[in-house]
């Protein structure tokens, strides 16, 4: 990882990887969603509403994965002072928040025909909503630290990123710990309670959305880095002119 | 499953929202990146 600590080396690799991830992600996601909409069968109990699965589940996983990326990068920033770790954490916040919001709204749209309700305050739904608010708080803290101009407050969003990771196991185990209207996990490491007609398009859409997530994180990192470099250069020139 | 509801209405709404939000995220992040990198290039020239 320290090999990419040099921004010039990171940019050399990010320049070709960003469009590649985004293009591959859009093609695979488009194809897998078409598969889920047009080719997958209706489910015996849930009918056609089961097709929402192919958007809802990948965005739920990526909402949680986004925060784990923030926590991992925050750890690298605090412990090893990796120069790009703070930028990577900030870059993961926007796609994480968007995918969490998509997960919540598509879940609500699935809940109405499946459970006859848009929303219930149970453990899974509430902890996922808490994750969305954690993203908003993280983005506000990171923006405040960036605008502070003194650099000292950069540790606050990193600490918040680490502490907020407590919510991830709560989301995962909420359907086991507490009574929930939400179904328990259908997939775990090496095991699946799902038929292949649903499993394969789900895996394809998960790969597609993950590639998009990776491409957006790289694009955000390049934007944050370019803004910081432009700002530093203009500041140096202003000092030199004085 | 609620028999009285047309499930396709909910499926189409969920897909429109998911695809729209993802496309908007990709477009925003790409354009913001291009804008920031152009700003960096301009700062080199000044």
The predicted pLDDT at position A62 comes to 97
The predicted pLDDT at position A194 comes to 78
- Dihedral of alpha carbons B11, B14, B20, B25, sign: negative
Cα distance between residue A172 and residue A34, in whole Å: 28
Residue keyed to tokens 């990146």 = B33
Measure in Å the smallest separation between the Cα of A191 and chain B Cα atoms: 26
**Domain for residue A156, yes or no?**
yes
Lowest mean pLDDT among A26-40, A78-92, A124-138, A190-204: A190-204
Cα distance between residue A65 and residue A131, in whole Å: 11
Reported as a pLDDT band with limits 50, 70 and 90, residue A8 is: confident
Q: What CATH number is given to the structural domain containing A132?
A: 1.20.120
**Domain for residue A20, yes or no?**
yes
The predicted pLDDT at position A102 comes to 98
pLDDT in tens, B8-38: 999 999 999 999 999 999 999 999 999 999 9
Contact residues on chain B for A222, CB-CB shorter than 8 A = 33, 36-37
> A45 is in which domain, residue-wise?
14-184+210-241
Domain count, chain A: 1
Residue in chain A nearest B34 by alpha carbon? A223
B37 touches chain A (CB under 8 A): yes
Of B1, B14, B22, which has the smallest distance from its Cβ to A212's Cβ? B22
Contact residues on chain A for B5, CB-CB shorter than 8 A = 112-113
Tokens describing residue A139: 């983005």
Of B22, B30, B39, which has the smallest distance from its Cβ to A230's Cβ? B39
**Domain for residue A128, yes or no?**
yes
Question: What are the backbone dihedrals phi and psi of residue A121, each rounded to the nearest 5 degrees, phi first?
Answer: -85, 60
Cα distance between residue A219 and residue B31, in whole Å: 9
**Which ipTM was obtained for this model?**
0.91
**Domain for residue A189, yes or no?**
no
**Domain for residue A70, yes or no?**
yes
**Domain for residue A95, yes or no?**
yes
DSSP one-letter code for A83: T
Higher pLDDT, A81 or A129: A129
Tokens describing residue A26: 């859009």
pTM of the model: 0.91
**Domain for residue A200, yes or no?**
no
**Domain for residue A201, yes or no?**
no
Cα distance between residue B35 and residue B46, in whole Å: 17
The predicted pLDDT at position A82 comes to 84
Lowest mean pLDDT among A20-24, A55-59, A95-99, A190-194: A190-194
The predicted pLDDT at position B12 comes to 96
The predicted pLDDT at position B5 comes to 81
């Amino acid at each position: 990882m320290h090999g990419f600590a040099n921004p010039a080396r990171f940019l050399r690799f990010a320049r070709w990887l960003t469009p590649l991830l985004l293009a591959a992600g859009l093609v695979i996601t488009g194809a897998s969603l078409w598969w889920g909409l047009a080719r997958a069968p209706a489910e015996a109990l849930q009918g056609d509403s089961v097709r929402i699965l192919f958007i809802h589940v990948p965005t739920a996983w990526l909402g949680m994965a986004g925060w784990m990326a923030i926590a991992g990068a925050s750890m690298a920033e605090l412990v090893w002072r990796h120069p790009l770790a703070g930028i990577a954490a900030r870059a993961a916040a926007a796609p994480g928040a968007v995918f969490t919001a998509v997960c919540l709204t598509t879940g609500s749209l699935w809940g109405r025909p499946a459970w006859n309700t848009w929303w219930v305050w149970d453990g899974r739904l509430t902890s996922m909503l808490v994750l969305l608010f954690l993203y908003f708080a993280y983005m506000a803290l990171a923006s405040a630290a960036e605008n502070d101009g003194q650099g000292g407050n950069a540790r606050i969003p990193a600490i918040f990123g680490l502490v907020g990771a407590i919510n991830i196991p709560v989301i995962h185990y909420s359907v086991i710990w507490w009574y929930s209207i939400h179904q328990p996990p259908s997939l775990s490491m090496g095991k699946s309670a799902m038929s292949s007609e649903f499993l394969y398009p789900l895996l394809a859409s998960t790969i597609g959305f993950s590639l998009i997530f990776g491409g957006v994180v790289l694009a955000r990192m390049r934007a944050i880095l370019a803004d910081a470099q432009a700002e530093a250069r203009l500041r140096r020139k202003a000092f030199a002119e004085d | 499953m609620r028999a009285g509801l047309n499930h396709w209405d909910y499926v189409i709404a969920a897909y429109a929202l998911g695809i729209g939000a993802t496309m908007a995220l990709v477009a925003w992040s790409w354009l913001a990146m291009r804008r920031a990198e152009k700003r960096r290039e301009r700062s080199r020239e000044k």
